[in-house]
Structures are given as structure tokens and as C-alpha cells.
Amino acid sequence: MGDGNGPSAPGHISRERVPPEQRVTGGFPVLHYGPVLHVDQDQWRFRLHGLVAKEQEITWEQFQALPRAKVECDIHCVTHWSKLGTHWEGVLGKTVVKLARTDAAARFAIVQGYGGFDTNLRLGDLTADNVLFADTFEAQPLTAEHGGPVRLVVPHLYFWKSAKWVSGVEFTAADRPGFWEKAGYHMRGDPWKEERYSGGQGG
């Protein structure tokens, strides 16, 4: 990824770094359907279910004991804002999938959030590098506005895939549209291919 270390002047934003029809913002918009949810760390549960060896419900304490990772990435919202150079900490998607002990038949992950939100990912998109279940943003505990205690961050897909207030993952054999996908957004959502909407439905 271009990171400003090339020949261009510091502060210059390389076009190669910003997907088509996106504009860079210095702020951090708060965007989601419905109210901000306030989930206590003590109440928080992370349920791994569906095509897994054994269903699990992970507590905050257990989540904190998992191997941790730091990710620096750019994020791209389908409403045309991009934010560059964000820093997150948490547990990688691949660590969670390993912990879940998914069946060979599992091909998709439906990531679920408190309040009934969900979004679908290919298993390979959840286990890609830099995908993490984040509890920390810019070295601070993730705020409720941005999806704390834990949200998903999938830098290589439009940001609606990055579920806030995560409550679980269901592993499935077949793909199934989630909240925004049912409203007409794309099943995969690659910003470099401008996969904004699924064919015909608009949104």
C-alpha cells in the first residue's frame, strides 16, 4: 500500500491510495442505523456458532486473553468518505476463526452486532491480513459511538462490513445477505471495484 514514503512530498495523498469516487476526510464520521448502543464490558458476550466444532460464548476477560494484534489501515465508507492511516488493536479475524474451529463446510461468516445488525463476509475476507475485532482505536478504548466494546474492522471492504457492537459470528456454508446487503448494498463490497450496490436493487 502506498504510504507516503515514496518520492511524493510529505502530506501528499497519492491517488493510488484512495479508491474511485472517494474523498479523504480528516474527521471520523459516526455512521450507523439506529441509536448508539452502550454495552458493558461485563455484559458483553461474543458467540461463535453455526458450522463450528463446539458453540462458544466468549466473555470480555476471555477475549482479552487472546493473542493480540495492531493494525494500521485506511477505511472507506460507501457514502464516499475515506479516512487514511487509522490505528486499531484487538484480535485478528484469523485468530477468532481458529478459535472457533470451523467445519470444512464453512465458507461464509455472518458477523452479528447487538441490536440485530448483521453483515456477511466470505470466510477468506474474515481471515485476510489486517482484519480484526478491535477494542482499541488510536491507543484508546473504542468508544460506544464507534462500536465499542468490540467492533470488526475490515479495511479492504467498504466500511459497512465493519460491524459495530459485535456480539458474535455465525459460520455458514451458504452466503446470506445481512442488514445493509438486504437494503441493496453489495454482497462483497470491494471499494477498488466500486462494489457499492447489488445489481438492480439500488440502495
Ligand X SMILES: Nc1nc2c(c(=O)[nH]1)N[C@H]1C(S)=C(S)[C@@H](COP(=O)(O)O)O[C@H]1N2
The item of Mo ion, ligand X, none sharing an interface with residue 33, based on CB under 5 to 8 Å by kind, is ligand X
Contact characters 67-86, ligand X, x per CB under 6 A: ----------x---------
Size of the site for ligand X (CB under 6 A): 17
Q: Which of 50, 90, 93, 147 binds ligand X (CB under 6 A)?
A: 147
Of all residues in the shown chain, the one whose CB is closest to Mo ion is 77
Q: Which of 101, 128 has the CB closer to ligand X?
A: 128
Stretch that binds ligand X, among 26-34, 61-69, 123-131, 194-202 (CB under 6 A): 26-34
The item of Mo ion, ligand X, none sharing an interface with residue 22, based on CB under 5 to 8 Å by kind, is none
Question: Rounded to the nearest whole angstrom, what is the least distance from the CB of residue 54 to ligand X in the complex?
Answer: 26
Q: Which of 66, 77 has the CB closer to Mo ion?
A: 77
The item of Mo ion, ligand X, none sharing an interface with residue 162, based on CB under 5 to 8 Å by kind, is ligand X
Question: Rounded to the nearest whole angstrom, what is the least distance from the CB of residue 31 to Mo ion in the complex?
Answer: 5
Does position 163 bind ligand X by CB under 6 A? yes
Does position 133 bind ligand X by CB under 6 A? no
Does position 113 bind ligand X by CB under 6 A? yes
Does position 117 bind ligand X by CB under 6 A? yes
In this structure, the number of other CB atoms found within 10 A of the CB of residue 66 comes to 17
Does position 192 bind ligand X by CB under 6 A? no
Grid cell, residue 171, equals 459460520
Q: Are 152 and 158 in contact (CB under 8 A)?
A: no
What is the rounded distance in angstroms from the CA atom of residue 77 to the CA atom of residue 69?
A: 23
